């Protein structure tokens, strides 16, 4: 778990987990964002409600109400959920986006603020709809040796054990909670 020193102290009001809807994508690398927000919802015994083009629920971390969102638009249109957040008065710098990251070893997590999408279509969509000034939790999924295999690789099921995946998801959830706790101190 690494914290980037350039991470500003932001008031997080919404966490968007990136992924693709449907059973075919459930345990794929590209859906790690969904798996992490699912784990956050499970820890709080919350269930998901369908609203417009997303699933959402609300949890409380450190006394703060936080919206959890899973866009149901497929990865390339993830940014469409920002219109709903803007109507709720949630600005871009109140958002934490959780996504898969090819440039990190499996399970390594890093917080990052601002920056480019680096080829990630879900991030490209969010940046196109609202700008780049939001916090990201980058969850490492490794990278295939041949870059031509990336599209198949990110949509493939995990090769790691379920226990290892769950342990890394728990670490990512703890990183989110630690960041939010730090806001309150």
Residue 17 in this model has a pLDDT that exceeds 80: yes
Domain assignment present for 3: no
Domain assignment present for 54: yes
Domain assignment present for 8: no
Share of the chain above pLDDT 90, in %: 89
Domain assignment present for 172: yes
Can you give the pLDDT at residue 107?
Answer: 96
C-beta separation of 154 from 29 below 8 A: yes
As a whole number, the mean pLDDT across the chain is 94
- Among residues 137, 166, 169, the alpha carbon closest in space to that of 36 is found at 169
Residue 1 in this model has a pLDDT that exceeds 70: no
CATH number for the domain harbouring residue 33: 3.40.50.1470
Can you give the pLDDT at residue 4?
Answer: 44
Can you give the pLDDT at residue 50?
Answer: 96
- pLDDT tens column, 29-50: 999 999 999 999 999 999 999 9
Burial (Cβ within 10 Å: 0-12, 13-18, ≥19) of residue 136: buried
In this prediction, residues 132-159 reach a mean pLDDT of: 95
- First and final C-alpha spacing in the chain: 20
Can you give the pLDDT at residue 184?
Answer: 67
Domain count of the fold of the chain: 1
| Domain extent for 38 | 14-184
In this prediction, residues 157-168 reach a mean pLDDT of: 96
Domain assignment present for 114: yes
Print burial letters for 104-117: b (CB count within 10 Å at least 16), e (below 16).
Answer: bebbbbbbbbeeeb
Q: Which residue has the tokens 């226990």?
A: 163
- Among residues 148, 163, 166, 179, the alpha carbon closest in space to that of 4 is found at 179
Domain assignment present for 9: no
C-beta separation of 66 from 57 below 8 A: no
- pLDDT tens column, 138-147: 999 999 999 9
Confidence category of residue 152, pLDDT binned at 50, 70, 90: very high
Can you give the pLDDT at residue 25?
Answer: 95
The pair of three-digit structure tokens given for residue 11, joined into one six-digit string: 């008031």
Q: Are strands 95-101 and 135-140 parallel, antiparallel or unpaired?
A: parallel
Confidence category of residue 104, pLDDT binned at 50, 70, 90: very high
Annotated catalytic residue within 30, 99, 129, 149: 30
Domain assignment present for 1: no
Can you give the pLDDT at residue 182?
Answer: 86
Can you give the pLDDT at residue 183?
Answer: 79
Is 149 annotated as catalytic?
no
How many degrees, rounded to 5, is the angle at CA 101 between CA 127 and CA 32? 95
The pair of three-digit structure tokens given for residue 75, joined into one six-digit string: 């990865």
Domain assignment present for 4: no
Tell how many helices (H) and how many strands (E) occur in the chain.
Answer: 5, 7
C-beta neighbour count of 29 within 10 angstroms: 25
């Amino acid at each position: 778990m690494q914290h980037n020193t350039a991470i500003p102290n932001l008031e997080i009001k919404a966490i968007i987990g990136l992924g693709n809807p449907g059973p075919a994508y459930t345990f794929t690398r590209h859906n790690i964002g969904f798996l992490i927000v699912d784990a956050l919802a499970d820890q709080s015994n919350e269930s998901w409600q369908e609203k417009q083009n997303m699933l959402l629920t609300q949890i409380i971390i450190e006394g703060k109400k936080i919206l959890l969102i899973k866009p149901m638009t497929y990865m390339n249109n993830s940014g469409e959920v920002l219109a709903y957040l803007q109507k709720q008065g949630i600005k871009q710098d109140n958002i934490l986006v959780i996504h898969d990251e090819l440039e990190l070893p499996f399970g390594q997590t890093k917080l990052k603020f601002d920056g480019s999408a680096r080829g990630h279509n879900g991030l490209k969509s969010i940046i196109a709809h609202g700008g780049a000034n939001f916090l990201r939790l980058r969850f490492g999924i490794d990278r295939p040796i041949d870059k031509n295999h990336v599209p198949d690789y990110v949509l493939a099921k995990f090769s790691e054990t379920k226990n290892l995946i769950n342990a890394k998801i728990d670490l990512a959830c703890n990183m989110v909670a630690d960041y939010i706790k730090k806001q309150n101190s």
